[in-house]
Amino acid sequence: MSTEQNTRAAHGPAEEGANVSESGPAILVLEDGRVFHGRSFGATGETFGEAVFNTGMTGYQETLTDPSYHRQIVVMTAPHIGNTGVNDDDPESGRVWVAGYVVREPARITSNWRAERTLDEELRRQGVVGIALTGTRALTRHLRDKGVMRAAISTTETDPRALLERVRQQPTMAGADLAAEVSTGEPYEVLPPEGVTARFHVAAVDLGIKAMTPQRLAERGCRVTVLPSTATAEEILALDPDGVFFSNGPGDPATADGPVTAMRGVLDAGRPLFGICFGNQILGRALDLGTYKLPFGHRGVNQPVIDTRSGRVAITSQNHGFAVEAPLDEPFDTPYGRAEVSHIGLNDRVVEGLRLLDRPAFSVQFHPEAAAGPHDAAELFDAFVDLMSAQPAPAAK
């Protein structure tokens, strides 16, 4: 059992109604020896993970419940977190996935008509250790300059040197194969809402899927069968889907050999294919492209991306620490015909999308379901539907 799991088991659900005022000292230690002192927020205990920062000013509940943050300690750059509390309608999954949570100033009052409990209550209920510290700006600048790194939050260990030794014993995110740890164990279906006719059947491979993604497809007339991350090409194609979707997820794409093999089988079959985030990296690997770890990644709801064909700029939601290596300025050859980079990040010219020119397949590195713009990237779901509309229906079995 991991340290994170030990923390959750030891600190279990907290009683409802507690507030943030009862807190003791806490420390955050980075693997390079940098130490930050603050106050306990959420559950007490200690936790380990990769320290990353998120620049979003809103959406903290969606961040906490995004499986892509598995094994990461998330630092929020917005100064006030928790103002709108927590409800049971907005989570992207059935639990909080972050390993730890760092905020500057937790909201003292929850003020929203949809709130069902405070953020502090929710973190303690789910056993998530957090820290409130005034130095989140300094911490973010340090991670930006030095790169994301392993870290720990503790409310029980007072000696930073002792904690540092254990931080350096933790596994790194590079080489981590995590999709199976966050994926569904059994297939399930998401149906179109009342009044919307199911026109297409989509097989969605869950590498860490967020709840809103199949809902966006369902709104467009898709019956979505969500499959475990271990699904093979044979299992996917046995459903006779009109299209196949590969989701976001955590970990190093270089380790995801199973999903890469499955995607190659889907490409061989010529079925329309759409991937986001981790799915974009899986498509890159399926095309024999390389992947690499970014110094500090892209995490937030304000990432500008340009469409290489139209020149249109979209403000996107992103959460990734790895990227695809590909030629930015011209089409290139792959085992599945020619392909091109469809989107480029304007901050650092990172590959933000891939498009095959000879097969019905494309992917993006950002999250079009997250409505960051608020609707800048929603058309990508329509593009996937258009791909399925243009293809002959799968043969009935």
Sign, CA dihedral 313-253-209-119, equals negative
Which helix or strand (DSSP H or E) is residue 47 part of?
A: strand 46-54
Known binding site for L-glutamine: residues? 68, 249, 251, 278, 281, 319, 321-322
Q: Is the peptide bond before 374 cis (omega within 30 degrees of 0)?
A: yes
Active site amino acids: 277, 367, 369
Which helix or strand (DSSP H or E) is residue 119 part of?
A: helix 119-125
- Report how far residue 208's alpha carbon sits from residue 70's, in angstroms, rounded to the nearest whole number: 9
- Report how far residue 119's alpha carbon sits from residue 217's, in angstroms, rounded to the nearest whole number: 30
**C-alpha distance from residue 110 to each of 56, 62, 163, 370 (Å):** 19, 17, 33, 23
Cβ atoms of residues 356 and 215 within 8 Å: no
> Do the bridges between strand 313-324 and strand 332-334 make them parallel or antiparallel, or are there none, so unpaired?
unpaired
Sign, CA dihedral 91-381-72-298, equals negative
- Report how far residue 222's alpha carbon sits from residue 11's, in angstroms, rounded to the nearest whole number: 41
- Report how far residue 156's alpha carbon sits from residue 169's, in angstroms, rounded to the nearest whole number: 18
DSSP string, 5-23: HHHHHHH-PPPTT--TT--
**C-alpha distance from residue 37 to each of 130, 154, 158, 274, 309 (Å):** 12, 10, 10, 44, 48
Q: How far is CA 141 from the centre of its chain?
A: 22
Sign, CA dihedral 171-211-383-371, equals negative
- Report how far residue 9's alpha carbon sits from residue 236's, in angstroms, rounded to the nearest whole number: 35
Say what angle helices 278-286 and 257-269 make with each other, to 10 degrees: 70
